[in-house]
Homo-oligomer: A and B are copies of this chain.
């Protein structure tokens, strides 16, 4: 019971910081994605593909969240995109305060789209707002179609589910229709996309949808 109370206090404190972050992002017209998935589902690869598709149109920045190491951040820096590494030091998610402390590393007046890549984890990241416009999650085909039912919060909180590693569909036991159906039963508003970061197939609908979300946000700001 004590533990539950502590966790609730932590979440309340986090929400206040996330709201401050959000107010800053609104003022600076920065659209923010909080990207989540299991370890190895393809978060960094999706960020790379999204940068490739949108870098001529929008100014993009990235925050990489990892327990330790800077491997993912180095991949993004190699694309000549502003990137900051958060090392959570054991914590299994990023939170509003970690993002707040990372923001002085960027010139937000020069950023249209900020992608925060969370720690690889299907559980806790969904509990912590960081001030994002939307959460986006990746489900990869080798993980199996039972994941929406087993980790429902992540599917409930996300605006979009990107099913990655479609190139492996013939080699794994993944029931694509079941995964979509179960995810939509948890969250009927979920936008669903199927891609392969490896073969680069399927990205047009995701990029078109993201562009539309981003433009709607920009048009809503003075």
Q: Residues of A at under 8 Å CB distance from B?
A: 3, 6, 10, 38-40, 66-69, 71, 90, 92, 119-124, 127, 140, 142-144, 146-147, 149-153, 165, 167-168, 171-173, 198
- Asked, given contacts A39-B38, A40-B38, A123-B67, whether A168 binds B142 with beta carbons under 8 Å apart, the answer is yes
Q: Which residue of B lies closest to A167 (CB)?
A: B171
Q: How far is the CA of A40 from the CA of B39 in the complex (A)?
A: 10
A143 partner, pick from B3, B39, B122, beta carbons under 8 A? B39
Q: How far is the CA of A146 from the CA of B120 in the complex (A)?
A: 12
B66 touching A150 by the CB < 8 A rule? Answer: yes
Q: How far is the CA of A59 from the CA of B92 in the complex (A)?
A: 36
List 29 interface pairs A-B (beta carbons < 8 Å), by A numbering.
Answer: A38-B38, A38-B39, A38-B40, A38-B120, A38-B143, A39-B150, A40-B140, A40-B142, A40-B143, A40-B144, A67-B150, A67-B153, A68-B149, A68-B150, A68-B152, A69-B149, A71-B146, A71-B150, A90-B153, A92-B121, A120-B122, A120-B150, A120-B151, A121-B122, A121-B123, A124-B124, A168-B168, A168-B171, A171-B171
B123 touching A40 by the CB < 8 A rule? Answer: no
Copies of this chain, whole number: 2
Q: Which residue of B lies closest to A88 (CB)?
A: B123
Most chain-B CB neighbours within 10 Å: which of A40, A144, A165?
A: A40
A40 partner, pick from B6, B119, B120, B147, beta carbons under 8 A? B147
Least distance between A101 CB and chain B CB atoms (Å): 15
Q: How far is the CA of A90 from the CA of B127 in the complex (A)?
A: 10
